[in-house]
Amino acid sequence: MPGVECVWGFRGWHVAHHEQLAGWLGDCLPDGTAADLPLALAPLRGDAGFRQYYRVASRPSLIAAYAPPATENTLAFVTKGLALARSGTHVPCVHAVDYRLGFVAQEDLGDALMLSGLATDNRDRRYGAALAALARIQTTVCDPEVFPAYSATLLQEEMALFSRWFVHALLGIALTPQEQTLLANLFDLLTESAGVQPRVVVHRDYHSRNLLLLDDGDMGVVDFQDAVIGPLSYDLVSLLRDCYYRLPETDLVRYRDQYLTAARQSGLLQVETQQFVRWFDLMGLQRHIKVLGIFCRLWLRDGKAGYLKDLPLVIRYVLEVAARYPETRAFATWFEARLLPSLASQPWYSPWEQAGETCVP
């Protein structure tokens, strides 16, 4: 297309999508935005979904996204973003959108991922900003027409990914009836624990790869299109037991207590610390069991091998928490005896006991 320069050739994208996106952008640049010709679209690393992102060489720069309509719900992204913004959450401002084509032009929040500076920058500053942003998310109005419920059925479906993709598809293990009962009882316990917690808007993937430190010290939030109304501890444990970065336990406890104090002061939460810690731990166990299945599916179904290296840390979270409570200890024992021997032969595997000790983003 004349006047357009696109960079492509990865993840099987068809050239026509790039040309069409670039042409669409040329027609809908927001007022006050300048751009030189040819208009350049530089590809950015995508997420675990099918969306593709580009930085537009405009002034100020923009982010262009292609969200395939067959797999991605762009309307949900826009409506949820507006609701989050009303609570003061800094999400990207959407300048233009075409729902039929799955094209979005949005604010560029920069490149300063929370993850990228955790090894060297002031950790307290970054987690403080992330906790402040989480507090704003949790004050968002729980509108069921915008945010669906994080239902017991959905929680169970997520954990079923563990059996299907981690146990069966990756390890080739067929569960016995007794093992199926063990997992069913565990999944019921975790679902029940989630169900009794206060309900808030839940980002559902609130971690250091979806948070960007902004120039004003605030934390920008992205990848919120799957947000739901669900358990209060979900996003907190997603942040503090991050699948990509392991916090020292002393820091985790300190940040968790910082959140708990603020939640009590705001009236959001009125339970004993021991009860909240149990909610937090079991919610994390549910999430990380799900993640074991999702990361394997990303590799086996979608060809995304990059998440395999993060599995040992997720396994560590699962085993450490499951060993902590009498009701979940049998699962930890079974996992170590039944699954770990098969994991040892996987080319990506490293001992889970040391996973995350030398996290380098």
Q: Which of 13-17, 116-120, 277-281 bottoms out in mean pLDDT, i.e. has the lowest?
A: 13-17
Q: Is residue 15 part of a domain?
A: no
Q: Is residue 36 scored above 70 in pLDDT?
A: no
Q: What is the CATH number of the domain that holds 97?
A: 3.30.200.20
What's the CATH code of the domain at 191?
3.90.1200.10
> What pLDDT shows up at residue 23?
77
Q: Largest Cα–Cα distance of the chain, in whole Å?
A: 67
Q: Do 123 and 30 fall within a single domain?
A: no
Question: Is residue 211, in this structure, part of any structural domain at all?
Answer: yes
Domain boundary among 75, 107, 139: 107
Mean pLDDT value across residues 76-86: 97
User: Stretch 2-29: mean pLDDT, rounded?
Assistant: 54
CB atoms within 10 A of CB 141: 10
pLDDT surpasses 80 at 30: no
232 has pLDDT over 60: yes
124 falls within a domain:
yes
What is the secondary structure of 15-64 as a DSSP string? HHHHHHHHHHHHHHPPTT-EEPSSEEEEEE---SSS-EEEEE-EES-EEE
Reply yes or no on whether the pLDDT at 64 is more than 50. yes
Q: What share of the chain has pLDDT > 90, as a percent?
A: 75
Q: How far is CA 22 from CA 15, 56, 208, 286, 293, in A?
A: 11, 9, 30, 41, 36
- Domain final residue pick, 107, 138, 169: 107
pLDDT at res. 358:
66
Domain count, the chain: 2
Residue 1 lies in a domain: no
Q: Do 28 and 133 have their domain in common?
A: no
User: Does residue 3 have a pLDDT over 70?
Assistant: no
Same domain, 64 and 163: no
Residues 141 and 218 in one domain: yes
Show which of 63, 87, 107 is a domain's final residue. Answer: 107
pLDDT at site 58: 72
pLDDT > 70 in the chain, percent = 89
Predicted local confidence at residue 13, as pLDDT: 41
Q: What number is the average pLDDT over the span 299-313?
A: 95
Mean pLDDT of all residues in 222-229: 96
312 & 211 share domain: yes
In a domain, 13, yes or no: no
Do 100 and 237 sit in the same domain of this protein?
Answer: no
Residue 283 confidence (pLDDT) above 90: yes
Q: Does the structure show a pLDDT above 70 at 4?
A: no
Q: Is the pLDDT of residue 164 over 90?
A: yes
pTM: 0.91
Query: Residues 153, 252: one domain?
Result: yes
Q: What is the mean pLDDT of residues 293-322?
A: 97
Instruction: Provide the β-strand partners of residue 213.
Output: 219
What is the band of 35 on the pLDDT scale with cuts at 50, 70, 90? low
Nearest to 155 by CA among 317, 282, 277, 246: 282
Whether residues 151 and 206 share a domain: the answer is yes
Give dist(CA 18, CA 38) in Å, integer. Answer: 14
Does 11 fall in a domain? no
Domain limits for position 27: 20-107
Does residue 2 belong to any structural domain of this protein? no
pLDDT greater than 80 at residue 27 = no
Whether residues 66 and 162 share a domain: the answer is no
Does the residue 25 lie in any domain? yes
Residues 204 and 290 in one domain: yes
> Same structural domain for residues 57 and 189?
no
Mean predicted lDDT score pLDDT of the chain: 90
Whether 135 and 267 map to the same domain: the answer is: yes
